[in-house]
Structure 1
């Protein structure tokens, strides 16, 4: 099915600039002044083939991690803020024949920016539909200081088949006096598997240094809970996420989505259980099959004054590994945004 979904979310930004990015490259852009249109990925194949991850490489797009990550280095055009930057993402399953696709499952994925010496910055976080096509528009205006010059983009889908999905990813950049462009951003963390065995109850601790002159600080926290066997915790059981600054709890909440029923029409391979329920309808820890995962936005201005601080992220009671080797895990990333 080809129903389009358009959901907007403000992502993080940082003053680290694309001078940190590696390797030259060129994207297809409009000429002259803004607005500009940049095509970065166009029907590029994401797959899993550890013995031949490069079999779908092109002259501009290179596969990594067994084919599940595609990368491209592009040269983005110069601009003078304020600007509005909009990302357009299309995910389409690759058909096997008239009735089947190669990957009919819901898969975690994202588009992110590679930062040498630091964690990747998640631009768009999503879960694919059950073998269905999805399409998203995402406002990346707060990333304007970063999205210029040479940048390395990554497209990721956590698939285990080959071939699996095709991805489109493009940016439009246009002048806009209403766009939000922070002065400073710090990438805090990026992890695809936060587990009980990995961090236990202590959580993830990150030192941060707020620059002099920054008077307002926001945290963007992307999080989704999963399990290796598709049952129980941490996908279908609510768990507290606790955020501390300098060992003081500043926020406690349970990431949860209970509106997944609305996405059933774009989940063509979702199946009905004997009790009459549909897998794609179930409430989950911060996500729905076929939709983006929006960040928690938390104002930390009163806690993160200029100077050195410590952030700690704790996910309580993560399901430990059982006798069959199954366990709960979380995909998380975060950025700090600051204004002078």
Structure 2
């Protein structure tokens, strides 16, 4: 009888303990310094559930999106709630992750807030995680999904520098979790949940979705997409939100061959429209309606430099298609498993001042003469960030010699065969501090002796003084061989896509050079680009696609 009473008594104590809800607050620190900018983590835990959130969420002051995690006991099912918007909540359940956790249990002990704790160690993605847990309270839980089977986790240390540790434990009669997790909740699978939560953390502007860029008389504009130069240019008007100083802007284009087997020049650009004439006028009325540039070599180049009434297009990203990716993947070579898509992604935060809170024509050009051409997807994403690498508030277009209207009669950029090269005059209405030239350059043309395959020095002069000189050259083109199934193979064992080139490779983005110009005073200035362009050989000629915008603070 006495044994039964004792058993019943201890069972009652366990029930009371497991039914009791504890509120435990934790602080985050890094290298011994408390991370005051982070809202403290805390949990509500009892024998049936463990909620993980933070003070901002509890006080319903957290910015969207945010996440609350619940671990159901004793199954240790992880239920995640993603709050994407005030009226949009998604959830998913994971019944396996906790069971898969493995730990090395050590004999080390210490006390945290008066409770005897033991240490367990695990490794995750090359990170060493040390977990201190206690069995004194007869419940399991913690500020992370890690260690839910061990006991009550009071401290987690990662790589001896990142620490989350309990600072207070108290009993509570009830929580306000029902006031936070309420309303309609949409359940989804784990990958779908992660994808939706991830994408909700930034703004996505869809520009082009599965659009064809080709050469065909049948290419026509529609209500959303304008097409020019026989379909080699596509254009769409995009509305940008106001972009704050603490946000980054990225552009991402994905490209596949839809019939064209060759490597081609591509560019993503936008059209400034703050003057009486714009590049858009040239698209609609013809390249020769744009301002002309002449440097004494007998040729005329239209729409490439600014005037009082015109600004050239601003290049966002220069890219190059690979040899026939996807469409020509049927070409088999031993040991080669071809990629199916060429991705191009680039940080363009420095252009933010000219994008923020504006409606702009965004265009993409791929120079080709193929009816199938290429298929592209383009989006721009805006991300909240603590990085402030680019602090310029001014973007001034200076030149863009990429012959975007090539298939509508715009000439190749061969102006560097004259001593004058490219010469641009511009006027600053105000002083420009910390001025930089955002300069993109690629050499083209010819075969073995053309500037595509011969290194050439680019020299930049400001107000008659050379301020920068370099040789743009890429030697890593062979790294992208698997993007080029139609690349020709030569008797020497190389493929065309292996060859080094003047600042580009098939299947890659060409990065801008950021050239410091110091402080520029208000008034008239000049910038000159000189390149020793190679001579014409029969029908083969060389050219250089260069674009430049002036960045700085006014």
TM range (shorter): 0.7 to 0.9
Counterpart in the other structure of 1:27: none
Counterpart in the other structure of 2:367: 158
CA distance in 1, matches of 2:398, 2:486: 36
CA distance in 2, matches of 1:296, 1:80: 24
CA distance in 2, matches of 1:220, 1:253: 14
2:264 is equivalent to residue 107 of structure 1: yes
Q: Identify unmatched segments of 5+ residues in structure 2.
A: 1-83, 87-199, 273-277, 279-309, 326-340, 403-411
Q: Which of 392, 416, 419 is matched with 1:182 structurally?
A: 392
Deviations 1:57-90 (A, max 9, x none): 4431111011100000122223433211111110
Q: Which of 501, 509, 514 is matched with 1:292 structurally?
A: 509
Q: Equivalent residue of 1:153, what SS?
A: strand
Query: Equivalent residues in 2 for 1:265-284 (5 A)?
Result: 265-284=482-501
Query: Equivalent residues in 2 for 1:177-216 (5 A)?
Result: 177-179=386-388, 180-192=390-402, 193-196=412-415, 200-216=418-434
CA distance in 1, matches of 2:317, 2:484: 20
Aligned partners of 1:263 and 1:289 also within 8 Å: yes
CA distance in 1, matches of 2:392, 2:534: 38
Q: Equivalent residue of 2:401, what SS?
A: strand
CA distance in 1, matches of 2:247, 2:351: 10
Counterpart in the other structure of 2:218: 52
| 1:199–1:277 Cα change, 3 Å | closer
Aligned partners of 2:431 and 2:521 also within 8 Å: no
2:552 is equivalent to residue 338 of structure 1: yes
Counterpart in the other structure of 2:237: 73
Q: What is the CA-CA distance between 1:211 and the residue it aligns to? A: 4.4
| 1:188–1:129 Cα change, 3 Å | same
Q: What is the CA-CA distance between 1:218 and the residue it aligns to? A: 0.6
CA distance in 1, matches of 2:246, 2:215: 40
Higher relative contact order (CA 8 A, sep 6+): 1
Counterpart in the other structure of 2:228: 64
More deviation in 205-214 or 250-259? 205-214
Counterpart in the other structure of 1:24: none
Q: What is the CA-CA distance between 1:266 and the residue it aligns to? A: 1.3
Q: Identify unmatched segments of 5+ residues in structure 1.
A: 1-29, 95-101
CA distance in 2, matches of 1:321, 1:213: 42
Aligned partners of 1:130 and 1:289 also within 8 Å: yes
RMSD: 2.1
Q: What is the CA-CA distance between 1:232 and the residue it aligns to? A: 2.1
Q: What is the CA-CA distance between 1:242 and the residue it aligns to? A: 1.1
Query: Equivalent residues in 2 for 1:106-185 (5 A)?
Result: 106-115=263-272, 116=278, 117-132=310-325, 133-147=341-355, 148-179=357-388, 180-185=390-395
Q: Equivalent residue of 2:353, what SS?
A: coil
Select the structure of larger CA radius of gyration.
2
Q: Which of 235, 243, 247 is matched with 1:83 structurally?
A: 247
CA distance in 1, matches of 2:551, 2:495: 39
TM-score (normalised: structure 2): 0.51
Counterpart in the other structure of 1:256: 473
Q: What is the CA-CA distance between 1:325 and the residue it aligns to? A: 2.4
Q: Equivalent residue of 1:330, what SS?
A: strand
CA distance in 1, matches of 2:367, 2:448: 18
CA distance in 2, matches of 1:290, 1:155: 16
Q: Equivalent residue of 1:182, what SS?
A: coil
**Off by >6 Å, runs of 4+ in structure 1:** 30-34
Q: What is the CA-CA distance between 1:233 and the residue it aligns to? A: 1.4
Q: What is the CA-CA distance between 1:269 and the residue it aligns to? A: 1.2
2:534 is equivalent to residue 319 of structure 1: yes
Q: What is the CA-CA distance between 1:149 and the residue it aligns to? A: 2.1
Q: What is the CA-CA distance between 1:123 and the residue it aligns to? A: 0.5
Aligned partners of 1:91 and 1:166 also within 8 Å: yes
Aligned partners of 2:441 and 2:545 also within 8 Å: yes
Deviations 1:70-113 (A, max 9, x none): 0001222234332111111101111xxxxxxx111100001101
| 1:46–1:265 Cα change, 3 Å | same
| 1:165–1:270 Cα change, 3 Å | same
| 1:80–1:296 Cα change, 3 Å | closer
Q: Equivalent residue of 1:119, what SS?
A: coil
Counterpart in the other structure of 1:218: 436
Aligned partners of 1:206 and 1:310 also within 8 Å: yes
CA distance in 1, matches of 2:381, 2:525: 36
Q: Equivalent residue of 1:236, what SS?
A: coil
2:531 is equivalent to residue 308 of structure 1: no
CA distance in 2, matches of 1:255, 1:31: 47
CA distance in 1, matches of 2:461, 2:245: 33
